[in-house]
């Protein structure tokens, strides 16, 4: 009886390892970089703040099979200065977070995917005006649509449009357009 249980346990471990290996063949990690144009919708002090930002983003993710995968990102905006009647207003922001992507292959021999994303980010907005500084940190949510062109098995280009709800005292939301490249291992 012990030999039967031992053999059954070994068979279970071997089959589990084979299934794990098959699963791992369908998981493909990638890294990427993006240019991001953001348009900010400010409340209350909108007339003083710069609304458009240029940013750079970096991301790492996993494509799990054909249809979905998580992606982690970091985005840093360049500092912007607005000149107003009562002085300069400087502001910048950065964010980091996670998105869950859905991929919809569109044919074209597997070269083009439609993209849908939903996620969250931690947004840090810093504003300086007349010697005073305001540093606001808030968790917000994100929704995106886009397309990805898979040039080879490893290289792809992506464009996305994204809505980010932030909901701070002064910054309500941002709309973003991104263009970037990915390398899949």
What is the total count of domains within the chain?
A: 1
Q: Evaluate if residue 107 carries a pLDDT over 60.
A: yes
What token pair was written down for 9? 């346990």
Residue 19: inside a domain:
no
For position 2, what pLDDT does the model report?
A: 56
Count of CA atoms in the C-beta half-sphere (13 A) of 159: 4
Answer yes or no: is 15 within a domain.
no
Task: Provide the strand spans (E) within the chain.
Answer: 27-42, 52-64, 68-77, 80-84, 87-105, 112-129, 132-150, 155-165, 171-184
- Mean pLDDT, residues 117-135: 87
In a domain, 52, yes or no: yes
The CATH number for 99's domain is 2.40.160.20
Closest C-alpha to 95, from 165, 180, 182: 165
pLDDT at 47: 57
Residues with Cβ within 8 Å of 159's Cβ and at least 6 positions away in sequence, in order, are: 146, 147, 177, 178, 179
CA distance 13 to 26: 20
pTM of the model: 0.81
Kindly tell me if the per-residue pLDDT of 4 is higher than 70: no
Range of the domain at 140: 27-184
Q: Average of pLDDT values for 23-30?
A: 83
Q: Is residue 9 a part of any domain in this protein?
A: no
60-90, pLDDT tens digit by residue?
999 999 999 999 999 999 888 877 777 788 8
Residue 73 included in any domain: yes
β-strand pairing of 171-184 with 52-64: unpaired
Query: Is residue 16 situated within a structural domain?
Result: no
Task: Please give the angle made by the CA atoms of 8, 14 and 19, to the nearest 5 degrees.
Answer: 125
Rounded-to-integer distance, Cα 10 and Cα 131, Å: 70
pLDDT at 5 over 60: no
- Read off the pLDDT of each residue in 135-149 and give the average, rounded to a whole number: 94
C-alpha pair distances (Å), 103 with each of 67, 87, 108, 161? 5, 47, 14, 15
Position 8 in a domain:
no
Does residue 174 lie in a domain region? yes
Q: Distance from CA of residue 20 to its chain's centroid?
A: 27
Residue 12: the pLDDT is: 52
Nearest to 75 by CA among 98, 56, 97: 56
Looking at every residue in the chain, the average pLDDT score rounds to 85
């Amino acid at each position: 009886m012990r030999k039967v249980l031992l053999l059954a346990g070994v068979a279970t471990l071997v089959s589990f390892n084979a299934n794990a290996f098959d699963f791992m063949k369908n998981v493909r990690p990638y890294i990427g970089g993006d240019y991001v144009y953001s348009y900010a919708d400010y409340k209350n002090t909108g007339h003083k703040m710069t609304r458009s930002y240029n940013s750079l983003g970096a991301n790492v993710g996993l494509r799990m099979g054909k249809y979905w995968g998580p992606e982690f990102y970091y985005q840093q905006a360049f500092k912007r200065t607005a000149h107003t009647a009562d002085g300069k207003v400087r502001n910048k922001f950065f964010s980091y977070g996670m998105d869950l992507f859905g991929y919809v292959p569109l044919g074209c021999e597997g070269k083009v995917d439609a993209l849908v994303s939903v996620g969250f980010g931690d947004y840090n907005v810093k504003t300086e005006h007349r010697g005073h500084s305001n540093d606001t940190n808030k968790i917000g949510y994100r929704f995106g649509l886009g397309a990805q062109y898979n040039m080879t098995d490893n290289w792809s280009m992506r464009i996305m449009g994204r809505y980010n709800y932030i909901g701070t005292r002064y910054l309500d939301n941002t709309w973003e357009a991104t263009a970037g490249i990915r390398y899949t291992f």
